[in-house]
């Protein structure tokens, strides 16, 4: 069970650990109402969290992996191209069908 009466320093330490481990929501869920009010009113906590975020980003910058979005973009481009082709094909069919019905009507009139 978590300590329910943590000091600002303990809360900051727990926050830094959760930020490092990527589980900030778990940290937020672990707060009691009193701890949340204490954090909300403490300017020192917010100043310290900024320092922790900066140190965390510097410390783990080499390990951070940037997502490669080129595959995603190529799939989006392919879907756009496919939809454009389908839209053009749909308009061609309508014209062709209209032309054919006009042609059939003219042939029918010629027969009469």
At a CB cut-off of 8 Å and minimum separation 6, what does 52 contact? 12, 15, 16, 19
Has residue 111 been placed in a domain? yes
**Euclidean distance between CA atoms 6 and 26, whole angstroms:** 16
Has residue 2 been placed in a domain? no
Has residue 103 been placed in a domain? yes
pLDDT tens, the chain, 112 aa long? 455 678 888 998 898 888 888 888 888 888 898 988 888 888 888 888 888 888 877 876 666 555 677 888 888 888 888 888 888 877 655 555 555 555 555 555 555 5
Query: Within this chain, do residues 40 and 71 fall inside the same structural domain, yes or no?
Result: no
Query: Within this chain, do residues 21 and 47 fall inside the same structural domain, yes or no?
Result: yes
So what's the pLDDT on residue 94? 52
Has residue 1 been placed in a domain? no
When divided into structural domains, the chain yields a total of 2
pTM for the model stands at 0.47
So what's the pLDDT on residue 110? 59
**Euclidean distance between CA atoms 52 and 15, whole angstroms:** 9
| Nearest one of 41, 37, 2 to 18, comparing CA atoms | 2
Cα 71 to the center of its chain, rounded Å: 16
Which residues constitute the domain of residue 86? 66-112
């Amino acid at each position: 069970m978590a300590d329910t009466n943590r000091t600002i320093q303990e809360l900051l330490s727990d926050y830094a650990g959760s930020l490092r481990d990527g589980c900030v929501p778990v940290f937020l869920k672990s707060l009691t109402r009193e701890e949340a009010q204490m954090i909300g009113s403490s300017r020192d906590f917010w100043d310290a969290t900024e320092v922790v975020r900066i140190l965390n980003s510097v410390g783990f910058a080499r390990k951070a992996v940037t997502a490669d979005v080129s595959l995603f973009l190529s799939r989006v481009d392919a879907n756009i191209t496919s939809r454009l082709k389908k839209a053009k094909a749909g308009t061609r069919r309508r014209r062709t069908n209209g032309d054919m019905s006009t042609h059939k009507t003219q042939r029918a009139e010629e027969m009469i």
